[in-house]
């Protein structure tokens, strides 16, 4: 037995003191002594419990049994309180998990009480044959899920997730940003910013960076100032910025006062690439495929049915009687890209029923519904051209060229809607005015070539990065383009390309994860090119998707939600990070619900 153990044993037998959780505790009254010295322990015993020497004589068996009994009581009490603490902590962690589920599904904070009530009701049946049913129900009832509690839990989890994001931003090699803005239900303009980070192993992660409310104007200078304030507040390392993707609004890309122009003027920003979102450009090009009079008339017809409650009900009944696959017309909006094709396709499918409905109801007359040429123009079909990569843009252009050639030869295999309408009108394919449609396709292709010039400059570099060992690669031109895009030394890039192409070991491992094999010492320029390309956003799809979530979170029923809570809910709803529930529960004083 060591000296310390002998000292503790003597304190127990002589003065009824023991060490518990690094504290010197009196076994009789449970008092603690700050400094566990013999004089302090003895003074407490002689002053407060001196009768114990008479009732339990020193070194007697009676005294030893009493010490053992008191130690057992202390252990039992500690175990009881420890169990209560563990139970409270478990309930707190569970409340964090339930709160996360609530906000993930974009529900109101006050739904926590409803979930708890449903949980208790379900437990009555689910655990009715369990011997420990009372304990289970008691645990469920101890969950803290009031509105204020769920709000606090979400605030803590959002901060935890934000801290994880900060660590990743600090650790990443470089990042790109995408920005877009939209108004919420209370007409506050919300600027949504996403970040795409690339790390040392060439892996990438996309996360919501922030949502900035624009209370007043939304000019380029206002957007820039709001973003600049965010950078200063969070110490965002903009030196790692590679590119910024936006839509084509003047406030974003204006030559003098646009957001991008303001960023380039600021010395804190490095040289970065800027691209007009592929999807927005595609949507603008897609507008050329449908003549204005087609969309205007079709929209007017749809609105005349959808905008009036009685008309809408009667039309639904009409479709049900006709045993149609659809029971509703869609509405088109330019605010959400690509709704045009879905709207026209649904209109085309219900066109016979629409004509019959107007004939029966005598509500309005639209001569276009009986105009063969208008119907042919309407039924060109929807164009699913959601492109997220340069290769998709090129594939689309080639397909359009192929379709143009087939139209010129009256091959309508890819135009089933046109064929269906021609058959309805009793006309042969050769009677189709193909020039009317080939002109539309050629205009669309011309617009694509104009709008995607930025991506055309990037294409040779992207092709090389996909497979760098092509023997026909023009090294000098390629090195020049890489150096220009990413602000590198052209001769250094050229030397690394030649070294890379001669590297037998790398060539044998050219499949799968490849660029993370390049060392910083040997291929600094190639690594920067690879990480920068990996970081590029091709669209503002994440922002568009976030706005859809935002519309659900901040609905007309939650229109008073604060901007901070909106950002918090949006972050938790779409983040790939998972909050550290256990650490969060440890960081607060755990209480069980009464």
Same domain for 304 and 339? yes
In a domain, 274, yes or no: no
Q: What is the pLDDT of residue 51?
A: 78
In a domain, 15, yes or no: yes
Same domain for 430 and 469? no
Same domain for 439 and 505? no
In a domain, 372, yes or no: yes
User: pLDDT tens for residues 467-488?
Assistant: 788 777 788 888 888 888 888 8
Same domain for 377 and 430? yes
Average model confidence (pLDDT) for the chain? 77
Q: Considering the chain, what percentage of its residues have pLDDT values greater than 90?
A: 18
Same domain for 439 and 504? no
In a domain, 273, yes or no: no
Same domain for 510 and 386? no
Query: How many structural domains compose the chain?
Result: 3
In a domain, 229, yes or no: no
Same domain for 467 and 445? no
In a domain, 55, yes or no: yes
Whether residue 125 is predicted with pLDDT greater than 70 in this model: the reply is yes
Closest of 331, 326, 341 to residue 379, by C-alpha:
341
CA–CA gap between residue 126 and residue 122 (Å, rounded): 6
61-75, 84-98, 240-254, 565-579: which is most confident: 565-579
Q: Which of 535, 559, 582 is the last residue of a domain?
A: 535
427-436, 483-492, 521-530, 565-574: which is most confident: 565-574
Query: E strand or H helix at 366, and its extent?
Result: none
Q: How far is CA 94 from the centre of its chain?
A: 24
Whether residue 168 is predicted with pLDDT greater than 90 in this model: the reply is yes
pTM for this one?
0.65
In a domain, 102, yes or no: no
Q: Which of 404, 434, 451 is the last residue of a domain?
A: 451
Grouping H, G, I as helix, E, B as strand and the rest as coil, residue 206 is: strand
Cα torsion for 221, 227, 232, 238, to the nearest 10°?
-110
In a domain, 485, yes or no: yes
Q: What is the pLDDT of residue 83?
A: 55
Contact predicate 490/479, CB 8 Å: yes
Same domain for 360 and 391? yes
Give the phi and the psi of residue 439 in degrees, each rounded to 5: -65, -40
Query: How confident is residue 276, by pLDDT bands cut at 50, 70 and 90?
Result: low
CA–CA gap between residue 452 and residue 281 (Å, rounded): 8
User: pLDDT tens for residues 557-584?
Assistant: 888 888 999 999 999 999 999 999 888 9
Same domain for 517 and 434? no
Q: How many residues does the chain have?
A: 594
Burial 533-553 (b: 16+ CB within 10 A, else e): bbbbbbbbbbbbebbebbeeb
The stretch 330-337 carries a mean pLDDT of: 50
Same domain for 337 and 395? yes
Query: How confident is residue 152, by pLDDT bands cut at 50, 70 and 90?
Result: very high
Same domain for 494 and 353? no
Query: How confident is residue 382, by pLDDT bands cut at 50, 70 and 90?
Result: very low
Same domain for 320 and 359? yes
Domain residues for the domain of 464 are 454-535
The stretch 36-51 carries a mean pLDDT of: 77
Tokens of 61: 């068996």
The stretch 26-55 carries a mean pLDDT of: 76
Q: Which of 398, 417, 451 is the last residue of a domain?
A: 451
């Amino acid at each position: 037995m060591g000296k310390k153990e002998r000292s503790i044993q003597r304190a127990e037998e002589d003065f009824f003191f023991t060490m518990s959780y690094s504290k010197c505790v009196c076994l009789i009254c449970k008092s603690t002594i700050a400094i566990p010295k013999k004089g302090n322990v003895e003074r407490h015993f002689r002053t407060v419990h001196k009768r114990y020497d008479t009732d339990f004589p020193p070194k007697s068996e009676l005294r030893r049994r009493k010490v053992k009994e008191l130690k057992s009581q202390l252990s039992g009490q500690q175990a009881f309180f420890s169990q209560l603490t563990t139970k409270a902590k478990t309930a707190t962690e569970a409340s964090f998990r339930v709160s996360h589920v609530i906000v993930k599904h974009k529900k109101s904070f006050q739904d926590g009480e409803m979930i708890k009530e449903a949980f208790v009701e379900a437990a009555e049946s689910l655990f009715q044959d369990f011997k420990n049913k009372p304990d289970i129900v008691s645990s469920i009832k101890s969950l803290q899920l009031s509105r204020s509690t769920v709000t606090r839990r979400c605030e803590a989890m959002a901060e935890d997730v934000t801290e994880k994001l900060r660590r990743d931003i600090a650790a990443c090699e470089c990042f790109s940003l995408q920005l877009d803005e939209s108004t919420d239900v209370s007409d506050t303009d919300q600027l949504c910013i996403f970040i795409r980070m690339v790390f040392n192993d060439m892996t990438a992660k996309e996360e919501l960076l922030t949502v900035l409310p624009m209370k007043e104007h939304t000019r380029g200078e206002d957007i820039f100032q709001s973003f600049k304030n965010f950078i200063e507040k969070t110490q965002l390392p903009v030196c790692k910025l590679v590119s910024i993707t936006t839509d084509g609004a003047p406030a974003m890309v204006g030559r003098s006062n646009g957001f991008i122009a303001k960023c380039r003027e600021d010395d804190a920003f490095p040289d970065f690439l800027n691209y007009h979102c592929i999807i927005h450009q595609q949507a603008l090009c897609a507008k050329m495929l449908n003549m204005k009079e087609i969309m205007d008339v079709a929209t007017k017809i749809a609105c005349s049915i959808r905008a009036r409650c009685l008309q809408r009900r009667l039309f639904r009944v009409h479709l049900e009687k006709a045993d149609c696959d659809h029971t509703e017309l869609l509405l088109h909006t330019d605010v959400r890209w690509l709704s045009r094709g879905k709207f026209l396709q649904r209109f085309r499918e219900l066109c016979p029923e629409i004509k019959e409905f107007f004939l029966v109801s005598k509500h309005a007359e639209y001569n276009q519904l009986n105009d063969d040429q208008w119907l042919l123009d309407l039924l060109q079909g929807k164009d699913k051209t959601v492109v997220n990569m340069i290769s998709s843009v090129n594939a689309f252009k080639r397909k359009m060229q192929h379709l143009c050639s087939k139209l010129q030869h009256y091959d309508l295999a890819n135009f089933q809607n046109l064929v269906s309408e021609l058959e309805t009108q009793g006309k042969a394919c050769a009677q189709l005015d193909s020039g009317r449609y080939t002109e539309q396709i050629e205009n669309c292709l011309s617009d694509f070539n104009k709008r995607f010039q930025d991506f055309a400059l990037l294409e040779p570099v992207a092709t090389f990065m996909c497979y760098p060992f092509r023997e026909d690669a023009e090294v000098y031109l390629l090195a020049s383009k890489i150096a220009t895009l990413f602000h590198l030394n052209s001769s250094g890039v050229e030397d690394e390309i030649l070294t890379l192409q001669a590297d037998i070991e790398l060539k044998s491992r050219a499949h799968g994860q490849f660029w993370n094999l390049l060392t910083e010492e040997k291929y600094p320029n190639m690594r920067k090119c690879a990480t920068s390309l990996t970081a590029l956003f091709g669209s503002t799809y994440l922002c568009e998707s976030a706005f859809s979530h935002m519309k659900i979170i901040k609905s007309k029923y939650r229109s008073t939600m604060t901007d901070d809570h909106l950002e918090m809910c949006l972050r938790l709803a779409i983040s790939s990070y998972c909050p550290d529930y256990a650490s969060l529960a440890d960081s607060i004083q755990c209480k069980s619900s009464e």
